[in-house]
Amino acid sequence: MIKVWTDGDEAGLLDKKGVRGSTFVYPSETSKQRAVSLTMPVRTSSYNMDYGLVPIFDMNLPEGALRERLRLAFAKAIGKFDDFDLLTIVGRSQVGRIRYTGEKEKLNEDVPFQSVDEILASRRGGELYAYLIEKFAQYSGISGIQPKVLVRDEKSSAGLSRERISPSYRGATHIVKFWEPNEFPQLAANEYFCLSVAKRCGLDIPPFKLALDGTALVVDRFDLRPDGSYRGFEDFCVLNAKGTAEKYSGTYETSVIRRFQEFARSPEAPSDVENLFTLITLNCVLRNGDAHLKNFGVLYDEVLGEPRLAPVYDLVTTSIYLPKDTMALTLNGTTNWPDAKALRRVGQTRVGTPAKIREIFERISEGLSQTVPDVRSYIQEHPDFKEVGESMLREWEKGRSLSLGGRQ
């Protein structure tokens, strides 16, 4: 049985249900503020899944190389390795406000220190990746196929804008992302420039920086407050009551835009919806075929408060690795890349006026144009990025021509 904590206090107990399912229950004295999710208010009856974990508990489970590293490290010692075991291992260090311990254990989040400056200045390539995975895998409750870890450097001077946080804070402060050379070469630089476009479009982006040798991308945690406490974070798998395995199931109109509107209660909700549509359109222009339900999220200070659209994350041009790649979710009934007419139709139905949609298109096009020279300069300075960089620029122009109607 696993004890679940929210905002540093006990919230309830998670246990197995049958052979493959899970069940979660709140103790009778639990306050409404201790709710584990926007979708799971405090109640007397349990929350049950016949197969897998309840979505909010499945949200941060490591995937890909990180999960395999943990399986190899712990399966022999514990004799098995399922999602409950994985949650127990990484549960003390997670993205968002939820933490996990054994039923009789106290919460103690203590992530080892790692200089972010050293990561950004490193030229150790694969050695750095192996070192950080070995050191931080068990502290990295974060999802995604791309190799990534959570590290702690509360005193970073690497140019990432961080407010001074509580001296007693011992949790992770940054996300470090890597790439597999044989699968997705130059993925860190790819994401760096895609995030640069998004920032120039006026979208909210957490501070980010690329290592000098391009081996890693370091991103500030956007869920961490200066006092060392955490904001709530939930991705759109959770908001749609889906597990990670169903992240490609849904539509941008209903599973993303309409679902956000159902939870958005803040006065800024209209501008958040506009930004959400901007991000969906930008994914089309950049040819990011991995903009699934887990790559959109909400952020909130209180579970009974006002959820806002989370900052942008996991934004890459996937079509350079998968030439026949299509969208992760459907739009207008298809996963084919949409033209400008199709996007305008969605935007005018769910977001705003034709003038507002035209303004969004112009901002995206301008953000793209401002970033292209940076990509070309990086190509000149890093010849090993040449093939990937030039492919990205070609894909961006194809995306602009189709999805923005050729705006320059």
Percentage, residues of the chain above pLDDT 70? 95
Q: Which two tokens stand for residue 309?
A: 């659209």
pTM of the predicted structure, to 2 decimals: 0.94
Residues 66-86: what's their mean pLDDT? 84
List the one residue out of 247, 304, 315 whose CA is nearest residue 278. Answer: 315
Q: Does domain 232-403 have CATH number 1.10.1070.20?
A: yes
Residue type, 290: D
116-220: CATH class = alpha beta
CA distance 129 to 302: 36
For the ranges 75-79, 84-88, 250-254, the lowest mean pLDDT is seen at 75-79
* pLDDT 10s digits, 343-383: 999 999 988 889 999 999 999 999 999 999 999 999 999 99
* pLDDT 10s digits, 131-162: 899 999 999 999 988 889 999 998 765 445 45
- Domain ranges in the chain? 2-102, 116-220, 232-403
For the ranges 64-78, 268-282, 374-388, the lowest mean pLDDT is seen at 64-78
Which residues face 251 on adjacent strands?
330
